Structure 1
Amino acid sequence: MTRQKAPLHRNPLALALLTILAASGAHAQNTSSTPTAATANPSKAKQLQTIVVTGTRAFDRTEADSMSPIDVLTPKDLTSTGATSLAGALRTLLPSFNFPQPSVTDATDAIQPAQLRGLSPDETLVLINGKLQHTSASLNVDGSEGRGASPVDINAIPINAVASIEVLRDGAAAQYGSSAIAGVINIILKGGSQSGSVYSTVGVYSHHDGEDGRTVRGGADGGFALGKKGWVHLSFDAEHQDPTNSAGPDYRYPGDPTYGQVTFHYGLPLLSQKSAAFNMQYDFAPHVQFYAFGIFNKRNVSAQGFFRSLSSYKTSQPAALAVYPDGYLPVENTSVLDSSLVAGIRGKVLNGWHYDISADAGSNHWKLNTADTFNYSLGAASPTSFYIGTLTTQQNYLNADFTKYVNIESLENPLVVAWGLEYGQDKFAIKQGDPASYAGAGAQVFPGFRPGDAGNYMRHNQAAYLDLEEDWTENFSTEFAARHSHYSDFGNSNVWKFSGRYAFNNTIAARATVSTGFRAPSLQQEYYSSTGIQFINNGVSDLPYTIRTFPVDNPAAIALGAQPLKPEQSHNYSAGLVFTPHNGLYATLDFYQITIDNRIILSGNLIGTNVAAYLTSVGIPQVSGGQFFTNGVNTRTRGVDLIGTYPIDLGSAGTLKLTGGGNYNKTIITYIEPNPPQLGLAGLTLPVIDRPTQGIITDGTPKDKVFLAGDWTYGNWLVHGQVTRWGSFINFGSTPAGDIVNAAKYTLDASVGYTWNRWDFTIGGDNLTNQYPTAAPASGGPYNIILPYSEYAPFGFSGAYYYVRAAYHW
């Protein structure tokens, strides 16, 4: 039977607007891993491209009548940004999306974290074609945003493989499972055999100290038929990025041969990567469809650590002096392999149930080698390059999902009933480095993983969910979802979600959701173990400390305050309005609150003579301090999103599409877990959650972000421009006197494009105002001069970026 539509679909002008939006390119046709609208109901095929598949189990929800706030981005949207990465494009297009690009942060230089609504990167769930995407193996253990998280590597996905992106800005753990606290990003791959493209782009950052960050990127995609019943669509992308450098002169040691010179590297790293994707389907029978898709990414990154000045070792390390008479800058060479493969069967059985049964295998392989460095403990026998070790993650999942439109006599419209089962297996492994890399105090910049660090860890989980949706009247819709999960390492979790939408008329609708959620501690957070060198401000200057990251079950960590990790628990509330007047305007206004209890964070660096003495007493010498993961804080995030588009017909002067958005987001810490009793028994009086750690959570991201963009189309010409205001943020010091307030900044992005036959040519620039974050005051010490810009900077610190692009479509 035909499922009835909300009033929006009955309005001819609204339907025309949806058709225009569809033509601009959701391009999700037959690529989702959930049943398509055409499969569910052939009468809806013409409206296929207006349909969203994220946050709903129904087959006919659109962006406008979704009960939760959702944004749909097209390939045209992504390429209009000029961004060199997928995360960079999302940062430009989404008001509540944050993508800083930190430097001198070890593993984080290679896999950079992204955030939604100011929360941790691992509190946003990422899907590809509706299926779970695995996280990275590495951990952000330095002082960057996302400290303590192992995020999904969004940039492993080639931009030219993307058909559309649906961003659900709402808690959805009851629908999708762990980590869907801040929201869900569903990346839908291109499909079909009829279209393809090839492109090339070259860009350069504004000149800064002789390094311009020249970026060359190119790729192609295309499909071919598998007889008359199927297709395969392939995508390939390659990129090379030269480094940028915004470091200032080094004034630490008068008399050194490098005094007053730029000795550090602080900016984008040297990067080379290749990415590929495939998406396919084949109809075995009218209601039996096989599908598969996968992603592969190979990335090599070279990033530098802290410069070791001659004065720091010339009297104590004669062997190093003989090799490096003027100081040295260690290099971290990271190799990342990221891959995923999903295969499944979907269709419809005779009793009306739509089924989707799939298997999902994903892995991330992070390997580190260092060069131009030294292990002081080995003296003259020390190599200058080391194999540090390898981290790997594997996630294997089996899913069975079932959906049916159930006719109930007392209901005006069919009830959407969806339920499913899931089995998952997570693995994490640490492989030790060369013996020379961890001997004694270990190699400079990043000591190797020790035999005691190495290990293989595994857990499994099962889940079952139920999801019910109903259009009670033409104006009123609701959804209820519940999920039960069991994890082998911490037990059970039960979460739910209730959503509703009421259309007052064809112009205004209200929507609201309330839900609970959870995030399971990752295996990395439970078992990661390493020794690293971190430069920490002691109130006067930054000094090197050898910091041990302990697993929570390590006896030394327990003595310092560690306890077994529990899952995070969240409560999400949102309420908003959707505006769809007859003049073509589409606007949404959504308020939200997210509270998280038992939030998992990495503790502050517990340092000092008492800590070092205690660690030595328990057999961990030559270490300055320690850190570990803890359910250390409860937080509350409140905010509002405003997003709108407005197309204007200029007659003979073409068309103008205006897009605007704004986000205000504030997180506070409502509770800090007190130091456990054993910390006092060890004779230590330290805050486990120190001030800089609190600052990353509450003030490390801008509280507000606003943009206004315009696209003017005239004949074959397209002119694009966007002004963005990035709000202020704060780098917290160990005391308030060390805080650095970064002022709000305005950036301008613009481009001009021309279409000729099937060719598109574009010239443009991002951050044409050449804005940099607020420079740290020189009075704060030499490191404020050497590393003048905050690694939390939401638009980076490499200045303006200019690019040209050419593409051919068929």
Structure 2
Amino acid sequence: MHLKKSLVAMMSAGVATSVAGFSTTVVAQEQSTSTVEAQERIQVIGSRLSMRTATDGTAPVDIITGEDLTASGITETARALQYAVPSFNFPSSSVTDGSDAVRPASLRGLSPDHTLVLVNGKRRHMSALVHLSGTTGRGSSNVDLNAIPISSIKRIEVLRDGAAALYGSDAIAGVINIVLKDQSEGGSVTVNSGQTYEGDGEQYKVHGNVGLELGDDGHLTLSAEYHHKNKTNRAGPDPRQQYPLVDGEPDPREATFDRFNHHVGAAEFENKALFANASVGLGEGELYAFGGVSDRTSQSGAFYRRALDSRNILEVYPDGFLPLLTPDTRDTSAYVGYKFDIGQWRVDASTGYGESEFHYRVENSINASIGPSSQTQFDAGTLITDELNATVDVSRFVPFVNNSDLSVAFGVSYRENSYQIRAGEQASYRDGGYADRPAGSQGFTGFKPASEVDESRDNTGVYVEVENMLTANFQWGAAVRYEDYSDFGSHTSWKLSGRYDLTDEWALRATANTGFRAPSVQQLYFSNISTLFIDRGNGLQPEQSGTFNNISTVARELGINGLEPEQSRSFSGGIVYNGYEGFTLTIDAFQIEIEDRIILSGDVSPQDSAAVADALAASGADNARFFVNAVDTTSRGIDVVAAKTFQLAELGELRTQMAYGYNKTEIDDVNLPALLDGLEDSLFDGVERTRMTRSVPQNSGSIAFTHTLSALETRLAFNYFGDYVLENSQGVRTEYGAKWITDLSAKYRFSPQLSVSAGVQNLFDEYPDKQPEGSQFNGIFMYPLTNAPFGFNGGYYYAELTYRF
């Protein structure tokens, strides 16, 4: 902890001087969505040293410019990326507790925590939230990409290949690198506003950036955003009896009750963000820094509590109530580094700190066990995770065989991750004993003192990477990385890559690598006991449901050992065409085998076995779930990207691009702790199997046309989301059909400074297939609450005004 405080103090002092810049170790690249970007020579992820143009690398990478992200008027970073990169999934969900505020995102159909996120080539911290409801990636945490404003982004690079040997833990599915804007002059201000066809979901956003000179050769680029969005609601009417009977007859208020009492749709939120990116020459080197802060408050609904519900107090809510979850989410990050030369060696030394705080708040609620005197707003507790990184990277070129140069890079890194759970206020969890009513704040029960934790772990990593252009046609690379963790030991991973140019137009490329993902501190230390309503064949009944971490007494008594890292073996191979009048095509196939995947198990209860009954006897919980290394999987797929620009003489320019992604995950084996063997149907049931393998589309794609004629730019995009499958607790599987989503927009530039845009997202007002009647909860939840690939808000139209200076 002394080391962390010292490094943070040094970093803070560097930020205070306002001299900092971006780390030029960015990602590998594959296919640009912009002709200009395709011609720009940039340093790339997946290759620490080599300068590449688009399609020149050994691994597939999508490069999306900031202009591409904003072309369709999408206002959220993660959603914009979803529409730009078909292999990236960002499904919508509702009534999923904290996941309504920080939604899971994933790459290649794997878990959200299998993708490493970098900013300017440096590791970004994860969200403190653990996804506990029925969303994709249940039991995982992910980086909140929406905490990074689009206005701060120069481009995003998505490496679709394993890269643990290069960057360490989490890079199993791939790497997303966000490169921040870095201009030293000029800027822009944009105002955006729109709403859905239904007339809800109104939003407005003001964002912009400005570049300032710093010294003789430096820059300071500031980006800011204010974003407000109202909720959408696609809930059906509630046909159920709402009030207790009056003398055996329905209460007259049943006839006038507003039966649209649930909130099923996008959450309401307000987001404020400020980011900075700077660099300046200092001595013989370059001092750089970047970072930002994002503060978001959101509001979403839980299940409605009817007036006759035992969870309600009629004196407080005579007509029932809808508990509202209103968490505050705050992300803070800062990096400081210095790049300099020692002889022929290039040295990059940096330190960075990131923190995510997820503060649970519940409004319009009650603790029924306290009775009529209960308060209606609660502080339900806080989750905090922070990450400290310190790295030194060294690189140079050395003479090699065949008159070629060998690029050599090596480095050392230190990382410390911490996790805290702070209990909510006492009223959010205590049992007041009133009339046998359930305890805790309704909608989300507060964290109890028994759940409080303040733990950390650290690791040190060293790596060596070499790369060589042996001949004019053959390029190869190799990397090895060793990591040592304070809590579960060490791991070594490696990567080999190669590319052979058959002709000036055609090339073959391939990679092979091993990888790993260390269990997150959230998975290691998260625990909570709360009141849930569970149907065990006799209707919904309140139970004390516990999530126990692996250092708990319950876990030890059930023979559940500490979590181990997930380990992967990945192979990819592809073909690249880069020739005919600027036409580019890449086709890449991949296979990713993962052993010991970590899952959040299903519930086990005393009825399941004597061992479970004994373990739970003193815990105060009626059932339990755990994080366990339980599943081996294999994922296979193919990615296709094509692009071409047509010069149409007096008719202007037409840019076209097509992207397609296919992925399929299969479960190879399930391994459970010895004392829980035989409980597979409880610990890893059909619901979780389906969620892991079919809850996101196996097929997705996009076709986009951008036409420029003088000052007018028009964009038409067709986005394809393939079918997906969900399963309910009764074992009923439902397939939701594939859909095409059409976006249309136009931009007119009145001058180099002023432009106006307008457009429609989901032009033809497409919705997901409705749930089967038996899954609609009395017709209230018409659409699937989780994993809807493009949401269930329907069409949306907007207008945007931008001023550049």
C-alpha contact (below 8 Å) 2:274/2:292 kept by paired residues: yes
Distance 1:52 1:617, change over 3 A: closer
Percent of pairs with identical residues:
36
Correspondence for 2:767: 772
Correspondence for 2:734: 740
Distance 1:383 1:500, change over 3 A: same
Q: Distance in 1 between matches of 2:227 and 2:538?
A: 41
Following superposition, the deviation at residue 617 of structure 1 comes to: 5.9
Correspondence for 1:7: none
* 1:13-28 superposed matches below 5 A: none
The two structures have a TM-score, normalised by structure 2, of: 0.90
Give the letter aligned to residue 476 of structure 2. T
Q: Distance in 1 between matches of 2:475 and 2:710?
A: 42
- 1:511-541 C-alpha deviation (Å, 9 max, x unpaired): 1000000000011101101134556666898
- Verify: 1:708 aligned to 2:703, yes or no: yes
Correspondence for 1:450: 448
Secondary structure of residue in 2 paired with 1:531? strand
- Verify: 1:330 aligned to 2:323, yes or no: yes
1:307 to 276, 297, 304: 304
Give the letter aligned to residue 407 of structure 2. V
Q: Distance in 2 between matches of 1:110 and 1:795?
A: 16
Correspondence for 2:348: 356
Q: Distance in 1 between matches of 2:467 and 2:218?
A: 32
Q: Distance in 1 between matches of 2:68 and 2:38?
A: 21
Give the letter aligned to residue 137 of structure 1. A
1:164 to 148, 155, 178: 155
2:164 to 156, 166, 173: 173
Correspondence for 2:723: 728
- Verify: 1:808 aligned to 2:803, yes or no: yes
Following superposition, the deviation at residue 543 of structure 1 comes to: 6.9
Unaligned runs of at least 5 residues, structure 2: 1-19, 29-36, 243-249, 432-438
Distance 1:544 1:731, change over 3 A: farther
Correspondence for 2:217: 229
Correspondence for 1:368: 360
Give the letter aligned to residue 169 of structure 1. R
Following superposition, the deviation at residue 563 of structure 1 comes to: 2.8
Unaligned runs of at least 5 residues, structure 1: 1-28, 38-45
Secondary structure of residue in 1 paired with 2:384? strand
Correspondence for 2:295: 298
- 1:15-71 C-alpha deviation (Å, 9 max, x unpaired): xxxxxxxxxxxxxx984433999xxxxxxxx99933242110123122211111011
C-alpha contact (below 8 Å) 1:750/1:765 kept by paired residues: yes
* 1:603-752 superposed matches below 5 A: 603-606=601-604, 614=613, 618-621=617-620, 623-674=621-672, 676-677=674-675, 687-736=682-731, 738-752=732-746
Secondary structure of residue in 2 paired with 1:323? coil
* 1:108-187 superposed matches below 5 A: 108-187=99-178
Q: Distance in 1 between matches of 2:442 and 2:615?
A: 20
C-alpha contact (below 8 Å) 1:297/1:337 kept by paired residues: yes
Correspondence for 2:247: none
- Verify: 1:383 aligned to 2:375, yes or no: yes
The two structures have a TM-score, normalised by structure 1, of: 0.90
Distance 1:224 1:414, change over 3 A: same
Q: Distance in 1 between matches of 2:533 and 2:643?
A: 46
Q: Distance in 2 between matches of 1:355 and 1:136?
A: 31
C-alpha contact (below 8 Å) 1:776/1:784 kept by paired residues: no
Following superposition, the deviation at residue 379 of structure 1 comes to: 2.4
C-alpha contact (below 8 Å) 2:237/2:779 kept by paired residues: no
Give the letter aligned to residue 613 of structure 2. Y
Secondary structure of residue in 1 paired with 2:326? strand
- 1:226-249 C-alpha deviation (Å, 9 max, x unpaired): 231322111101100000001111
Correspondence for 1:104: 95
Q: Distance in 2 between matches of 1:657 and 1:396?
A: 43
Secondary structure of residue in 1 paired with 2:313? helix
C-alpha contact (below 8 Å) 1:373/1:445 kept by paired residues: yes
Secondary structure of residue in 2 paired with 1:663? strand
Distance 1:679 1:572, change over 3 A: closer
Q: Distance in 2 between matches of 1:661 and 1:615?
A: 54
C-alpha contact (below 8 Å) 1:603/1:688 kept by paired residues: yes
Q: Distance in 2 between matches of 1:731 and 1:537?
A: 19
Correspondence for 2:11: none
- Verify: 1:212 aligned to 2:207, yes or no: no
Superposition RMSD in Å: 2.4
Secondary structure of residue in 2 paired with 1:380? coil
Correspondence for 1:20: none
Give the letter aligned to residue 114 of structure 2. E
Q: Distance in 2 between matches of 1:253 and 1:56?
A: 63
- 1:733-792 C-alpha deviation (Å, 9 max, x unpaired): 2344x2221111111001011112121211001111111111012244535543533411
Secondary structure of residue in 1 paired with 2:551? coil
C-alpha contact (below 8 Å) 1:777/1:784 kept by paired residues: no
Correspondence for 2:234: 246
Correspondence for 1:25: none
- Aligned pair count reads 759
Distance 1:624 1:799, change over 3 A: farther
Correspondence for 1:75: 66
Give the letter aligned to residue 651 of structure 2. A
Following superposition, the deviation at residue 371 of structure 1 comes to: 1.4
2:571 to 573, 590, 596: 573
- Verify: 1:755 aligned to 2:749, yes or no: yes
Distance 1:85 1:534, change over 3 A: farther
Secondary structure of residue in 2 paired with 1:101? coil
C-alpha contact (below 8 Å) 1:778/1:785 kept by paired residues: no
